[in-house]
């Protein structure tokens, strides 16, 4: 006899069946397990109706339900606000335990504490687990016992800790799916995001665990050249797995096991990116003030520009700097932006237009399919030089030389800025003067600012 007659597994950012810690533990400890997803109205309140992440999640839920039905079970999707809806469903189902995986975002931590408190007060057992990272924030500490603030020593320790007990840290948690509740025992109809007016939108990767596994498999052919190709936006040299990491359709342990199976110079660099992901999760968990302000609070005193027309031009890809505009248009059209261009675009907003990084962070949050508080915040604070281990403020990326270096033929720019299609690979990076033409091509905006002047202004602002 197992300790729990019936348990609920509350799925959140772990929308898969394989290598799933909470599901594994629930199946091991319960006679019957009901997987539940809550359409959380607290989160949805402020979102646009064509939000890409919502569409992606719906796709993941449909796939999960389908795969569970093939096994004679089902997913239960409910709607409401977590503090009331989760205790209510646990009680409605007559469950005596709730299982879920940890989430490190400040609001999620408060939510989980509140739900756990209510359930425990009612005699329900609540158990939660590490799942979305290989190492949680307190597992990788500096010599003084404090969390790291700098990436390189963190990553060295991360790798050393992994090596010390690789099999245990990368264990594949395979749930005993025979414990899943028979579908006919749950009569409730599943809620859908469309009931709240949400509509479909373009997705640059397909949702669901099956798609994640197939993307990872395809990436095995590219990973060997990752270190050489990852900085060139015209080449699809990166994995494009970020939405799958975001929603847990791929287990981070599986990704690291994959690195061990496909070892190459490129793999080493890719693994380093997975460690950056965990580094920023650790930063958010240990230094939650970063959600609202600079990691280094002295940078909260910077006097940013409030020029709305500049901000709007940046959002819409009309700055007159082709690589920045191509990047922003890629984001708006597809919900993805290449990592190199995220740095270029973020630095342009903060160091050329002198606009507060939080404005850019918020805009990215509305557009990115892979939007994730920890990585987005970390990336913005890095680019704005306000974060831990950030780019020093005096090292300002030049958008023209970045363009010449990482899109040498202008192929990426031509794809997203058709006004510049006819320009040769020299002039496309700066189409405003010189070459065969003496002025900006028709239909393309004049530059909003002069990079050289703005760079000096930014450095002076930071110095002050």
Enzyme catalytic residues: 273, 276, 304, 339, 357, 380
Least Å from the CB of residue 268 to ligand FAD: 13
By CB under 6 A, tell whether 247 contacts ligand FAD: no
Least Å from the CB of residue 240 to ligand FAD: 4
By CB under 6 A, tell whether 339 contacts ligand FAD: yes
- Which of 6, 21, 52, 230 is close enough to bind ligand FAD by CB under 6 A? 230
Token digits of residue 369: 């399919």
8 A C-beta contact, residue 235 and residue 3: no
Q: Strand (E) positions, 208-281?
A: none
- Alpha-carbon span 435 to 257, nearest angstrom: 51
- Which of 133, 212, 343, 417 is close enough to bind ligand FAD by CB under 6 A? 343
Which of the residues 345 through 374 are near ligand FAD (CB under 6 A)?
346, 364, 368, 370-372
8 A C-beta contact, residue 64 and residue 35: yes
- Which of 222, 227, 240, 262 is close enough to bind ligand FAD by CB under 6 A? 240
**For residues 256 and 461, which CB has a smaller minimum distance to ligand FAD in the complex?**
256
Half-sphere exposure of 38 (CA within 13 A, CB side): 23
8 A C-beta contact, residue 216 and residue 255: yes
Helix (H) / strand (E) containing 128: strand 125-129
CA geometry: angle at 171 spanning 169 and 172, to 5°? 150
Number of residues in contact with ligand FAD, rule: CB under 6 A? 28
Position of minimal CB gap to ligand FAD: 379
- Which of 241, 283, 413, 448 is close enough to bind ligand FAD by CB under 6 A? 241
**For residues 75 and 274, which CB has a smaller minimum distance to ligand FAD in the complex?**
274
Least Å from the CB of residue 252 to ligand FAD: 9
Token digits of residue 56: 């992606």
8 A C-beta contact, residue 215 and residue 223: no
Least Å from the CB of residue 50 to ligand FAD: 18
Token digits of residue 447: 């530059």
Half-sphere exposure of 286 (CA within 13 A, CB side): 19
> DSSP class of residue 185?
G
**For residues 86 and 271, which CB has a smaller minimum distance to ligand FAD in the complex?**
271
Binding region for ligand FAD (CB under 6 A): 230, 238-242, 245-246, 273-274, 276-277, 280, 339, 342-343, 346, 364, 368, 370-372, 375-376, 378-380, 383
């Amino acid at each position: 006899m197992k300790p729990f007659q019936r348990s609920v597994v509350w799925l959140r950012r772990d929308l898969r069946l394989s290598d799933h810690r909470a599901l594994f533990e629930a199946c091991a400890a319960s006679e019957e397990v009901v997987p539940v997803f809550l359409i959380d109205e607290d989160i949805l309140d402020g979102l646009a109706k064509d939000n890409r992440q919502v569409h992606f999640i719906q796709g993941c839920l449909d796939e999960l339900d389908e795969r569970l039905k093939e096994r004679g079970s089902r997913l239960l999707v409910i709607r409401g606000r977590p503090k009331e809806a989760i205790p209510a469903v646990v009680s409605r189902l007559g469950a005596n335990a709730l299982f879920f995986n940890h989430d490190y975002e400040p609001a999620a931590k408060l939510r989980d504490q509140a739900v756990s408190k209510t359930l425990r007060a009612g005699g329900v057992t609540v158990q939660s687990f590490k799942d979305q990272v290989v190492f949680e924030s307190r597992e990788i500490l500096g010599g003084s016992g404090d969390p790291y603030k700098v990436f390189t020593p963190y990553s060295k320790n991360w790798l050393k800790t992994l090596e010390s007990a690789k099999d245990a840290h990368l264990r594949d948690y395979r749930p005993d799916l025979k414990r899943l509740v028979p579908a006919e025992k749950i009569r409730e109809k599943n809620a859908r995001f469309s009931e709240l007016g949400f509509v479909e939108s373009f997705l640059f990767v397909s949702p669901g665990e099956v798609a994640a596994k197939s993307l990872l498999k395809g990436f095995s052919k590219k990973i060997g050249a990752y270190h050489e190709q990852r900085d060139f936006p015209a080449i699809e040299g990166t994995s494009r797995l970020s939405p799958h990491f975001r929603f847990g359709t791929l287990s981070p342990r599986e990704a690291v096991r994959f690195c061990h199976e496909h070892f190459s110079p490129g793999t080493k660099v890719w693994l380093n990116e997975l460690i950056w992901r965990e580094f920023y999760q650790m930063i958010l968990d240990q230094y939650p003030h970063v959600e609202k302000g600079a990691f280094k609070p002295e940078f909260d005193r910077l006097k940013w520009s409030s020029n709305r027309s500049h901000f709007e031009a940046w959002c819409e890809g009309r700055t007159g700097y082709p690589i920045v505009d191509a990047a922003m248009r890629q984001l708006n059209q597809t919900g993805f932006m290449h990592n190199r261009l995220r740095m270029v675009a973020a630095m342009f907003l903060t160091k050329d237009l002198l606009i507060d990084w939080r404005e850019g962070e918020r805009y990215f949050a509305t557009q990115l399919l892979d939007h994730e508080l920890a990585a987005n915040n970390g990336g913005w604070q890095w680019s704005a030089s306000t974060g831990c281990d950030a780019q020093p403020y005096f090292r300002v990326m030049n958008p023209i030389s970045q363009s010449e270096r990482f899109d040498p033929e202008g192929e990426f720019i031509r794809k997203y800025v058709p006004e510049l299609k006819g320009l040769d690979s020299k002039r496309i990076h700066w189409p405003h003067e010189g070459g065969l033409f003496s002025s900006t091509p028709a239909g393309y905006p004049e530059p909003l600012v002069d990079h050289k002047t703005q760079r000096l202004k930014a450095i002076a602002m930071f110095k002050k």
